[in-house]
Amino acid sequence: MLGEERKQRGLWVSAGFEELPGVHAKAASDIVLTEPGLSTIVEGILISRRIWCRVRNFLTYRIAATLQLLCFFFIAVFLLRPIEYMPKDWKTNPEFRAVEPNLQEWPPFFHMPVLMLMLITLLNDGTLITIGYDIAVAPKTPPKWNMPFLFSMAFVQSFVAMISSVNLLYILLHSWDEGSMMRTLGLGGISYGKITSSIYLKVSVSDFLTLFSARAGGDWFFMVKPAKILLLGAMIALSCSTCFAMFWPKSYPDGIQTEGLLESPPYMLEVFVWSWSLSWWLAEDAAKVLCRWIVHKYNIFDINNTGEMELTNSAKKLQEEMRRALA
């Protein structure tokens, strides 16, 4: 009787039973089970939720990385003018001549060669591909898109990364001042070419480290294990960026002085940039976790309303038929 009703409606669910003769009910069915039992439905739900997590991580990271770059360069162009930070006696200062043999004036505003921006984007996208193979934990409740919340979390991460980049540029431009932070660390008197390479390294490292923070959702970055392929992609990208910054030949792409961090003194500048980036990355991850806690505590963006799963009419009919069959 049950099979006859299914044939009449053109609905058939294969669960290890033989297909009944008649119309092509299997092709018109809402769902086809390829193994006995309902375990395939459960597995399908878990797989779809893991896919949802990967898409969420991709969007969060892409928004955060884009905002970081746009906001940093927008603020740096209008707020910090390198020519104003040159030593007053730069034309006669022997220390300045040692790192700037051409005695070239620094530019009136900060900008980065297009080639460096392309390298950041290329390595960034190459690493981002691996997020499709990342380990994702399926949420226990049906996921629901909350775009205001997603944009807010991405903005928090990008804001911290952007502030760290602006602060680093400010500190590097002040490296010729007496009593500056860089002189205290023994890294004073930095050429403008090395400032350009240092900012390139900082933006690159921050971009790649943000991926590990974004993929963890509201948890700390170390609480969600990454896939091996994602770790490999990130290590390759970080190694390439570091090598480019360290060994970039002294040149003037797009008229911008650029010089590798190992081309002239002071040395060990790459260690300082990496330490700075790691420190601010931990602050970025802490800010993300704190904001997530505040959002849930005060139910901002209606975040605690996860919603209930609603069945379609055909799914409700199928559910009723299965109940009758089991009875």
Could you tell me the residue ranges of all domains in the chain? 2-30+312-326, 54-302
Residue 104's pLDDT band, with cuts at 50, 70 and 90, is confident
pLDDT tens figures, 1-45: 444 444 444 444 444 444 444 445 666 666 777 777 777 788 888
Residue 315's pLDDT band, with cuts at 50, 70 and 90, is low
- Summarize the confidence of residues 223-250 as an average pLDDT: 93
212: nearest Cα among 316, 57, 321, 72: 57
The whole-chain average pLDDT of the chain stands at 85
CA–CA distance, 181 with 223 (Å, rounded to integer): 35
pLDDT tens figures, 198-220: 999 999 999 999 999 998 888 89
Cβ neighbours of 109 (radius 10 Å): 13
Cβ neighbours of 209 (radius 10 Å): 21
Q: Which two tokens stand for residue 287?
A: 């800010």
Handedness of CA 192, 195, 201, 207 (dihedral sign): negative
Specify the CATH number of the domain 54-302.
1.20.1110.10
Question: How would you class 199 by CB atoms within 10 Å of its CB: exposed for 0-12, middle for 13-18, buried for 19 or more?
Answer: buried
CA–CA distance, 230 with 227 (Å, rounded to integer): 5
The phi and psi torsions of 60 (rounded to 5 degrees) equal -60, -45
Instruction: Tell me the whole-structure pTM to 2 decimals.
Output: 0.82
